[in-house]
Amino acid sequence: MDVEKIVKEIKKGNLVIIPTDTVYGISADMNNEKAIEKVFEAKKRDKNKPLILLVSNLEMLKKYVKKISPLEEKIIKKYMPGRLTMLFLKNEEVSDLVTAGSFFVGIRIPDDLNLIKIINKVGNPIISTSANISGENTVTNVKNIDKKLLKYVSYVEDAGIIESFPSTVIKVEDDEITILRKGDIALKIVKDGNFKIRGEL
């Protein structure tokens, strides 16, 4: 992966498409609202649908949320980096544009060393969303990226065909875990047996 090129483009306020530990994703600087607007425009995405942030470690995550409970920290240390997105109460560092006006922000630590390097070199979290027009299939091969979307992107990192794994999305409330989107991490959390799960998987 051309880490330096990707970092340069993100810092310039451009959109890039890069392989992640789930699918190909569009990434941008979370602090550049014009870039975030461009993400919504490129995907034809409803602005009522929030985007998620990728961070490099727990310390960076803590800079963008109001609090982390002991249970949340336990889950992070056990299941991140990985295909797990958690919802946290955001602080003022996170634009309402990212969260679609919600008080909560989805954050993930990716299990990919190149992505970690990119985030650290950018110096703050990056936006991540699947590299497809909203409502269409996620992309595991850059050859399948919609040409209408590519018009908004300054750089595409072609890593060939990557395996598609959905990320689990959870929210922790009152020492209970609500699983908002299933995935392999959700199954691990349930099988663990040490966590209270709200509702059914």
Q: What is the pLDDT of residue 200?
A: 58
Separation CA 130–CA 136 (nearest Å) = 10
What CATH number belongs to 3-198?
3.90.870.10
**What per-residue confidence (pLDDT) applies to 181?**
92
Q: Give the tens place of pLDDT for each residue, 175-201.
A: 999 999 998 899 899 998 888 998 655
Query: Which two structure tokens, joined as six digits, stand for 188?
Result: 């691990």
**What's the chain's average pLDDT?**
94
Where the chain has pLDDT below 50, the residues are none
In this prediction the pTM is: 0.93
Tokens coding 53 = 């942030």
Look at residue 178 in the predicted model and tell me its pLDDT.
Answer: 95
Query: So what's the pLDDT on residue 180?
Result: 94
Q: Quick one: three-class SS letters along the chain?
A: CCHHHHHHHHHCCCEEEEECCCCEEEEEECCCHHHHHHHHHHHCCCCCCCCEEECCCHHHHHCCECCCCHHHHHHHHHHCCCCEEEEEEECCCCCHHHHCCCCEEEEECCCCHHHHHHHHHHCCCEEEEECCCCCCCCCCCHHHCCHHHHCCEEEECCCCCCCCCCCEEEEEECCEEEEEECCHHHHHHHHHCCCEEECCC
pLDDT at 201: 54
Cis amide linkage into residue 81, ω under 30° from 0 = yes
Nearest to 62 by CA among 40, 88, 80, 42: 88
